[in-house]
């Protein structure tokens, strides 16, 4: 997601939804864009946009964004989109809020 300062924030990790060949291809592309890594995460230049489906959004102290996607899976790679067209953190906050209204639940 992109925050108010136009900085990118992590909201989850997934490779689900890709075929083995797609996974191999995207891994190759992403490694060319690598700028940093740690034991669990590879950070890349923001150049590739993916459309992600998910079951719900939950609050998460694990990510700086404060949110995580539950059961995230990649629907498709969006070569027609710019990274700056990514979902905003404000949109995520809104979706987080309305998911409780749709389920008839209260946020705790």
Residues 6+ apart with CB under 8 A from 40: none
SS (H, E, C) the chain: CECCCCCECCCCCCCCCCCHHHHHHHHHHHHHCEEEECCCCEEECCCCCEEEECCEEEECCCCCCCEEEECCEEEEECCCCCHHHCCEHHHHHHHHHHHHHHHCCCCC
Find out whether 86 and 49 touch, Cβ atoms under 8 Å.
yes
**pTM (two decimals):** 0.82
Joined tokens for residue 90: 């404000």
Q: By C-alpha distance, which of 69, 94, 80, 88 is closest to 9?
A: 88
At 86-107, the pLDDT tens digits run 999 999 999 999 997 876 665 5
At 50-91, the pLDDT tens digits run 999 999 999 999 999 999 999 999 999 999 999 999 999 999
Give the pLDDT confidence score for residue 41 in this predicted structure: 85
CA 108, CA 93: separation in Å to the nearest integer?
A: 15
CA 96, CA 91: separation in Å to the nearest integer?
A: 8
What structural domains and CATH numbers belong to the chain?
20-103 (2.40.50.140)
Give the pLDDT confidence score for residue 17 in this predicted structure: 94
At 7-45, the pLDDT tens digits run 999 999 898 999 999 999 999 999 999 999 988 888 999
């Amino acid at each position: 997601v992109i925050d108010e300062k136009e900085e990118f924030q992590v909201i989850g990790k997934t490779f689900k939804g890709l075929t083995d060949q797609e996974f191999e291809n995207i891994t190759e592309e992403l490694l060319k864009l690598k700028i940093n890594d740690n034991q669990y995460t590879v950070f890349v230049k923001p150049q590739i946009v993916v459309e992600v489906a998910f079951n719900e959004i939950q609050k998460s102290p694990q990510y700086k964004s404060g949110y995580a996607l539950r059961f995230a899976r990649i629907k498709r790679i969006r070569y027609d989109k710019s990274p700056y067209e990514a979902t905003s953190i404000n949109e995520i906050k809104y979706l987080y809020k309305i998911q409780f209204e749709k389920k008839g639940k209260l946020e705790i």
